[in-house]
Structure 1
Amino acid sequence: MKALSGAIVLGLENAIGLTVVRELGQHGVPVHGVARDAGAVAIASRHCASWSPRPAGPVADWLPDLIASTGARAVLAISETDLIDLSALPARIGDCHILTPRPDPLAKVLDKLRTLEAAQAIGLLVPQTWQPLAGEDFAARAADMPYPLVAKWANPPEVQPVLERAGLAWIKTDYVRTPEQLIALLDRYAPIGRWPLIQQYCAGVGLGQMLHMADGRATLRFQHRRLHEWPPEGGVSTYCRAEPAAAHARQMDLSEALLRALDWEGPAMVEYRHEPDSGRYWLMEVNGRFWGSLPLAWHCGAHFAWESYRRAVLGQTDAALPARDDLRARYMVPETKRLLRILLAPGRIGDPFFRRRPLADLAAWLLDFLDPRTRYYVFSRSDPRPWLRDMGQMIRKAVRRDRR
């Protein structure tokens, strides 16, 4: 078998980067990782052939030399910041493919308001949304909104440095129950003249539909249901299960149509809140980078990083192998934090409709260790060193905290 050319992966610090490294390495691709810290969890993977510390300065200043020295034929990245920087580079540097979105599609996906507008145009159900602007009558709009509401920023990478300069905390999601609470939230951001999107709250369960797009069509599909999140009211997926390929078929077609309308190429996840009783699917956002629950897709055999690599570097156009749909995956550290929040600090859960079931959640947390369908974001029997490194770092942090 002919040896495959290498790939560079930017971002080895979390379970997403670890999964990309494992996936490519499993298919025989030598991976050179770039990490900010020598303790990055993915460095310990047997699939990480080599790594280097991230140089100072913009990616454009040092990436071409790294490509030349490693002979890599592909570059993949984990964070939105890196995707933005890489999108400004040519799609190829020599023989190396920059496997990240191009500037215009990426800008559409990062701007949640533009994504919602595109979705509405093709018939997707979107929550009522208001983008507050300077000069509007906030009190009048607040009186007319359908409560409860959710506040989230339209373009997080753009606004985060603005908030930091103003000394304001970055809050991914705020829940608002009354007009008075909404006015207080808007007043909080008045000093910077920028406000988050205000959306109606959508009930239901989290459904993620993952697609790899090439030339306007999906070449790989996978979907999962979010069972738990951290924080409990919504955030990072900590426990999820694969959904059968035949389920939500009409919605999967709409997800593909949305990504086509956005001119998207490569992997993305379209996120919904699904109401099983009514059959409605509310679009939340499009995640235009490798997503937090990628380990579940990897365990099931839906390999999105490999799909990008094999099509670009190897020129393969045959259909991807079918994935399993009977597995679950847990992200144990935040999953445990979620359980502790439910058991010990329920008052800090912001979602007004969150159903707290402490005894059932505790029992499920214990019993899932015995379920043969359960897999893990970090732990893998075939690649245990990242988990050992992760556990060692957690123990050292706990010891330092106790000493302080």
Structure 2
Amino acid sequence: MNRPHPLPSAIVLGVDTAIGLTVVRELGRFGVPVIGIGRSAYSVGGASRYCTRFVLRPKHHALAEWLPDLIAETAAAALISISEGDLLDLAALPDTIGACRVLTPRRAKLDIVLDKLKTLEAARSVGIRTPESWQPRIGEPLAERATTLAYPVVLKWSDPPAMFARLDAAGLAFEKAEYAGTPDDLLRRLSRYEALGAYPLVQSWVGGYGFGQMLMMADGAARLRFQHRRVREYPASGGVSTLCATVSADLHREQMAKSEALLAAIGWEGPAMVEYRHEAATGRYWLMEINGRFWGSLPLASQAGACFAWEQYRHAVLGEPADATIAYRPRRARYAIPDTKRLVQILRDPDIAGAGRPPFSRWREAAAYLAEFLNPRTGYYIWSWADPKPLLRDVTGILAKLKR
């Protein structure tokens, strides 16, 4: 494959997290000059050896006020963004700024994956199983409906980004997920939001483990596929992945085809993770959501050899065809600090799992936590022997925050 040398540069907007760091490392390893943009001097991606230039993001300025000038100055050929907030802002800008391709989803498609009700509707249209869901409305007789549900249930916002400012203005904390075990418990939790004028979505709780299928979509088809399972989460009752493991591409082929059909039906372009709960005993998959962006466990995919950022870049910028021979290696990846917080949480309260699940074993969890340090297949979200400075930057940032 003949490629220009040097390769055109790329801007990565949002290098403050392990996700942005992974994108910087991945593109840099393939020889792409990377301009990283972060909100803090402690941005981990800005410390990477693969970040050729770090730009501190201007505070209190909209993207449209400064981003086009930076693109013109750097002559970047592509812009990749990490956070949902930035994806929403970029969706209001053209998909090309000068000669730079803005490799982010457009608003119509983004609205579908950010709204869980729209996502569930699209999933059912292609034959994907979804949990029983109820969106309470202001003025609706909540008590009557609450008695008809199967418990426990989970409360989550249908469109989280749309609620952040409203919750903050009302003095309410954003909860990624809440659990209710009885009708009275559900009504008590819903009552907190009555003055807000909006209620979270209520879904039946489903068992199984967290299972994700990741795809890079282009022109209605997947150019790259990857899948993994969550081994541990923080909070321990359900949250971000702190330890995850690859799942062989030979497994779950039928469900992968459904995931691809779902994204194709939406008209999705770019990276996305279709997230499920999978019950191994019954073989059932329950759709949880679509992450229409680079996801939290991206370090696992990259370390295993499924290079989603590079795949997106080389297709959009270099116009190269998909490589059907891509195969990924068995790996595990750990988000060390949240994984440590999880263990502390369990040691304090083994019953934290909730939702009718059995309590954790303190000794078993502590032993598994320590044993993972000795697993040769386990990599880390931030630490890398080949690129150690981001961890030092992360620790420095944590210490500075504690000092403040």
The TM-score bracket by the shorter chain reads over 0.9
What are the within-5 Å matches in structure 2 for residues 1-400 of structure 1? 2-55=5-58, 56-319=60-323, 321-353=325-357, 355-397=359-401, 400=403
In the alignment, is the contact (CA less than 8 A) between 1:211 and 1:267 conserved in 2?
A: yes
Shift of 1:354: 5.0
> For residues 32 and 351 of structure 1, what CA distance do their matches in structure 2 show?
44
Residues 347 and 278 of structure 1, relative CA distance in 2, 3 Å threshold: closer
> For residues 128 and 351 of structure 2, what CA distance do their matches in structure 1 show?
35
1:185-239, Cα deviation, whole Å (9 max, x unpaired): 1111000110100000010011000000011100000000000001011111000
Shift of 1:358: 1.7
1:95-124, Cα deviation, whole Å (9 max, x unpaired): 100000011110000000000011011111
In the alignment, is the contact (CA less than 8 A) between 2:152 and 2:355 conserved in 1?
A: no
What SS does the aligned partner of 1:286 have? strand
In the alignment, is the contact (CA less than 8 A) between 1:307 and 1:320 conserved in 2?
A: no
> For residues 31 and 180 of structure 1, what CA distance do their matches in structure 2 show?
53
> For residues 114 and 184 of structure 2, what CA distance do their matches in structure 1 show?
30
1:244-269, Cα deviation, whole Å (9 max, x unpaired): 00111100000000001111000000
In the alignment, is the contact (CA less than 8 A) between 1:229 and 1:338 conserved in 2?
A: yes
In the alignment, is the contact (CA less than 8 A) between 1:209 and 1:221 conserved in 2?
A: yes
Shift of 1:352: 3.0
Structure 1: which 5+ runs fail to align? none
- CA RMSD for the aligned pairs? 1.3
> For residues 119 and 66 of structure 1, what CA distance do their matches in structure 2 show?
39
Shift of 1:324: 2.3
Residues 57 and 350 of structure 1, relative CA distance in 2, 3 Å threshold: farther
> For residues 90 and 354 of structure 2, what CA distance do their matches in structure 1 show?
36
What SS does the aligned partner of 1:229 have? strand
1:360-392, Cα deviation, whole Å (9 max, x unpaired): 211111111111111110011111111122233
1:306-327, Cα deviation, whole Å (9 max, x unpaired): 1111111101113155232411
Q: Which residue type is aligned with residue 58 of structure 1?
A: A
In the alignment, is the contact (CA less than 8 A) between 1:147 and 1:177 conserved in 2?
A: yes
Q: Which residue type is aligned with residue 36 of structure 2?
A: G
In the alignment, is the contact (CA less than 8 A) between 1:115 and 1:286 conserved in 2?
A: yes
Structure 2: which 5+ runs fail to align? none
> For residues 103 and 397 of structure 1, what CA distance do their matches in structure 2 show?
35
- 363-372 vs 68-77, greater mean Cα deviation: 363-372
> For residues 80 and 319 of structure 1, what CA distance do their matches in structure 2 show?
29
Q: Which residue type is aligned with residue 8 of structure 1?
A: I
> For residues 191 and 350 of structure 1, what CA distance do their matches in structure 2 show?
28
In the alignment, is the contact (CA less than 8 A) between 1:229 and 1:239 conserved in 2?
A: yes
> For residues 89 and 395 of structure 1, what CA distance do their matches in structure 2 show?
37
In the alignment, is the contact (CA less than 8 A) between 1:245 and 1:325 conserved in 2?
A: no
- 316-325 vs 131-140, greater mean Cα deviation: 316-325
In the alignment, is the contact (CA less than 8 A) between 1:233 and 1:354 conserved in 2?
A: no
Q: Which residue type is aligned with residue 61 of structure 1?
A: E
In the alignment, is the contact (CA less than 8 A) between 2:350 and 2:361 conserved in 1?
A: no
> For residues 127 and 358 of structure 1, what CA distance do their matches in structure 2 show?
31
Residues 271 and 354 of structure 1, relative CA distance in 2, 3 Å threshold: farther
Shift of 1:89: 1.2
TM-score, normalised by the number of residues in structure 2: 0.96
1:317-374, Cα deviation, whole Å (9 max, x unpaired): 1315523241101000000000111112335544431541221211111111111111
Shift of 1:396: 4.7
Q: Which residue type is aligned with residue 17 of structure 2?
A: N
> For residues 300 and 87 of structure 1, what CA distance do their matches in structure 2 show?
31
Shift of 1:393: 3.2
Identity of aligned residues (%): 54
Shift of 1:136: 1.2
> For residues 147 and 172 of structure 1, what CA distance do their matches in structure 2 show?
19
Q: Which residue type is aligned with residue 7 of structure 2?
A: L
What SS does the aligned partner of 1:315 have? coil
